Homo-oligomer: A and B are copies of this chain.
Amino acid sequence: MREVAILGIGMTRFGELWDRSFRELGIEAGFQALVDARLSSRDLGALFLGNMASGSLIEQEHIAPLLMDYAGLAGHHLPAIRIEAGEASGAVALHQGYLAVASGAYDFVVVGGAEKLTDVPDVTANRITGATADQEWESVFGATLPGLWALIARRHMYEHGTTREQIAQVPVQAHEMGSKNPNAHYRNRITLEQVLGAPPVAEPLGMLDCAPLSDGAAAVVLGPLDRARKFTDTPVAIRASVVTSDTMALHHRGDLTRLDSTIVAAKRAFGQARKTASDVNVVELHDAYSISALLALEDLGFVGKGGAGTAFAEGRFAMGGTPTVNTSGGLKAQGRPFGAVGVAQVVELVRQLRGQAEGRQVSGAQLALAHSVGGTGATSVVHLLERTN
């Protein structure tokens, strides 16, 4: 297999973009990535697009050729392939783009993620947001995604002594990071008191523990590492790309306080890259709900089982931490356009590895980890990215 590099990145602002359609967002991110890679559309081999729920949300399937068309590239008749894996859709699309280039079948591909969630009917209906949980055994009985993550939170508090205040530190740090990210949905700082005092969604989780519903798109250009320097002085190598699965329904898991899909994905990814968790400088991880971030820190191996709440509250994962986590603001503050978040995480990490993250740069970032989750962990994805210059 060929080694694969990221040559270009692009993303739209995330937020309630009522004046922007799905297709406008998608092509804005894609063109930015192509321009950033100094790649002509003539060199493009394929598009892999992550999207979770366009059928339910905008009554449009078949969206990968739609974006290729709307970008003016239909005449090239390139493969345009949509991937769906809940909120991990974008990260799984990156795995597909990685395989496409690694195989030698394609040289240069765009991997995008896009989702239009606002200015759409019924977006909070459980048939849409709950569609990544088990419809027959969870959603149909009224279990919502925040409800399921709240069960996880309660169990983590019970088993490991994690406190409500520790969990509430996650969105506080997310908004602090987001305040420095011009693309973020939320750029306001929030306090611990505000998180604790926010209206409940599914206790112990309140309004400020839950990532918002956002519009947005992100894209990266991939190519063979050995040809990367023709396009960029700062190629970023994909050292590992791992997708895993687990049971859909929570009641089939042996332990509610961990995601086995994440534990296995991290183990396989570190094995592929011949690295360990302590080599990682900067991380973008899944924080759709504040408890999600604490599980991820433990499952990825950055802190021992049950220790994430204390470590997080002590600031171990803040700017300059070991590692620094979610400099983008994460899903909580940067925003959560389902299919786009997995790609947006990688865009942020490439900025960090290039030293282009401006007011939120992690000094000397060399190795980065992206972690994405669909639903309550039936899909997990881990990518390891390394600076090569």
Residues in A lying within 8 Å of B, measured CB to CB: 1, 21, 23, 46, 52-53, 55-56, 58-66, 68-69, 74, 77-86, 92, 95-96, 99-100, 102-105, 127-128, 130-136, 139, 242-249, 252, 260-261, 264-265, 374-375, 378-379
Contacting residue for A65 out of B58, B68, B128, B245, CB 8 A: B245
A62 touches B105 (CB 8 A): no
B85 touches A82 (CB 8 A): yes
With most chain B CB atoms within 10 A of its CB, the pick from A61, A80, A104 is A61
Bound Cα distance from A261 to B79, whole angstroms: 10
Copies of this chain, whole number: 2
Q: Which residues of B contact A103 (CB under 8 A)?
A: 1, 99, 102-105
16 further interface pairs, Cβ-Cβ under 8 Å (given A81-B83, A82-B83, A82-B84): A1-B104, A52-B61, A58-B135, A59-B130, A59-B139, A60-B135, A62-B132, A62-B374, A62-B379, A64-B245, A69-B245, A74-B247, A78-B245, A79-B244, A80-B243, A81-B96
Q: Could you pull out 12 A-B pairs where Cβ atoms are within 8 angstroms?
A: A52-B61, A60-B136, A61-B86, A62-B133, A64-B245, A64-B379, A69-B248, A79-B243, A80-B245, A82-B84, A82-B85, A99-B103
Which secondary structure dominates chain A's binding surface? mixed
A69 touches B105 (CB 8 A): no
Q: Which single residue of chain B is at the shortest CB-CB distance from A105?
A: B99
Bound Cα distance from A136 to B1, whole angstroms: 41
A92 touches B84 (CB 8 A): no
Bound Cα distance from A105 to B103, whole angstroms: 8
Bound Cα distance from A150 to B147, whole angstroms: 47
Q: Which single residue of chain B is at the shortest CB-CB distance from A246?
A: B74
The 9 closest A-B pairs by CB, nearest first: A103-B103, A79-B243, A65-B245, A65-B378, A60-B135, A59-B127, A61-B131, A80-B245, A77-B264
| Distance between A119 CB and nearest chain B CB, rounded to angstroms | 14
B246 touches A69 (CB 8 A): yes
Contacting residue for A1 out of B55, B105, B248, B375, CB 8 A: B105
Q: Which single residue of chain B is at the shortest CB-CB distance from A59?
A: B127
Bound Cα distance from A21 to B134, whole angstroms: 13
A246 touches B99 (CB 8 A): no
Q: Which residues of B contact A99 (CB under 8 A)?
A: 96, 99-100, 103, 105
Bound Cα distance from A79 to B246, whole angstroms: 9
Bound Cα distance from A368 to B332, whole angstroms: 51
Contacting residue for A66 out of B105, B244, B260, B378, CB 8 A: B378
